[in-house]
Structure 1
Amino acid sequence: MTRTLKGKAWAYGDHIDTDVIIPARYLTSSDENELGKHCMEDIDADFCKKVNPGDMIVAKENFGCGSSREHAPLAIKGAGCSCVIAASFARIFFRNAINVGLPIFECPEAADSIETGDEIEINTKAGTIENKTKGKVFSVTPFSPFLQELIEQGGLIPYVRKQLESGRGKK
């Protein structure tokens, strides 16, 4: 099944670290909805008031650098964002995003072209990012079928839970 993500872009620069994504003062919870209330507030105080379900964060180089906290991708999901597009990701953020079921797309060309307010549509299976506002289409390597299923299930824990419940996790 093809999954299409649609939303408005919220563009940021280079080296957006996990302390900016979710400030440490809010790490008293691991509930994504609670964390989402404070997502990006130290770089964009009104982000949570402006973002709509399905919107996307777009950034330049090294998005998610800093600490290894899983709270950062959880906060992005909790804020209602459908994904993150960046020129590059910190490796630990990349892993944590997949583990919690947050789709991320590494595409320098898209990250350089997309601006705040642009309407974006992503076909996750085909690996296309379309900037509807500017009429540009970018290619990105789609996730493997396994990773697509893991993300669709909401991350690693829900995926494993489903596997165990269905008996596929037993040997």
Structure 2
Amino acid sequence: MNKITGKVWNFGSNIDTDLIIAARYLNSSDPDHLAKYVMEDADPDFPSKVQPGDIIVAGENFGCGSSREHAPIALKAAGVAAVIAPTFARIFYRNAFNMGLPIFELENAEEIIEGQEISIDLDEGTIQNNTTEKTYKFTPIPPFMQELLGCGGLMNFAAKEAKNA
């Protein structure tokens, strides 16, 4: 899982966890159920438009609001391969890695426009805009965090570690 390539969907700043998955859908923690409604309050058509492997590029403070793990679960279950933003709410940042959803902090993320195709190289710490051929640099994800993502999240990582003990 060292490279991710996908089509971009743009969202603005301060996308909170209620916009990612509205509280009215939290009567279930089933990922498939949550995926049906992901980002619905930010873009009502998003659940039907998003395709596996697509990438969200957003503004500042993505994932602010509550500490619910439902938000990264819903994104991942809908097929979102990664989220890029200048900043993330700290609890969302941790929850995303725990759930196995790759997220990347990129200061000038707003330069990446909806519909473009990008490739993220986790090892190199680069995002290549395949549409414009511009390359962006981010701080590479540490190997341990990459291992978490590769396992699909913290619970799968822990299960693997227990099995190998």
Instruction: Name the TM-score class by shorter chain.
Output: over 0.9
Cα deviation, 1:8-46, whole Å, max 9, x if unaligned, reads: 000011100000000001111212222111100011111
**Amino acid in the other structure paired with 1:143:** I
Equivalent residue, structure 2, for 1:9: 8
Count of residues in Structure 1 that have an aligned counterpart in Structure 2? 165
Cα deviation, 1:65-106, whole Å, max 9, x if unaligned, reads: 000000000000011000100010000100100110100000
Cα deviation, 1:106-129, whole Å, max 9, x if unaligned, reads: 0012x1201110101111111111
* Aligned equivalents of 1:166, 1:43: Cα separation in 2: 43
Equivalent residue, structure 1, for 2:111: 113
Equivalent residue, structure 2, for 1:83: 82
Flag as ranges the 4+ runs of structure 1 deviating above 3 A.
none
Question: Between the two proteins, what is the percent identity of the paired residues?
Answer: 55
* SS, match of residue 131 in structure 2: coil
CA contact (8 A) 1:8 1:120 kept: yes
Q: 1:8-157 alignment to 2 at 5 Å?
A: 8-109=7-108, 111-157=109-155
Report how far residue 48 of structure 1 moved. Answer: 1.4
* Aligned equivalents of 2:144, 2:3: Cα separation in 1: 17
**Amino acid in the other structure paired with 1:96:** N
* Aligned equivalents of 2:13, 2:64: Cα separation in 1: 10
* SS, match of residue 43 in structure 2: coil
CA contact (8 A) 1:122 1:129 kept: yes
* SS, match of residue 15 in structure 2: coil
CA contact (8 A) 2:57 2:110 kept: no
**Amino acid in the other structure paired with 1:102:** L
CA contact (8 A) 1:60 1:108 kept: no
* SS, match of residue 155 in structure 2: helix
Measured on the aligned residues, the alpha-carbon RMSD in Å equals 0.9
Report how far residue 141 of structure 1 moved. Answer: 0.9
**Amino acid in the other structure paired with 2:159:** R
* Aligned equivalents of 1:32, 1:108: Cα separation in 2: 30
TM-score, normalised to structure 2, is: 0.97
* Aligned equivalents of 1:38, 1:119: Cα separation in 2: 24
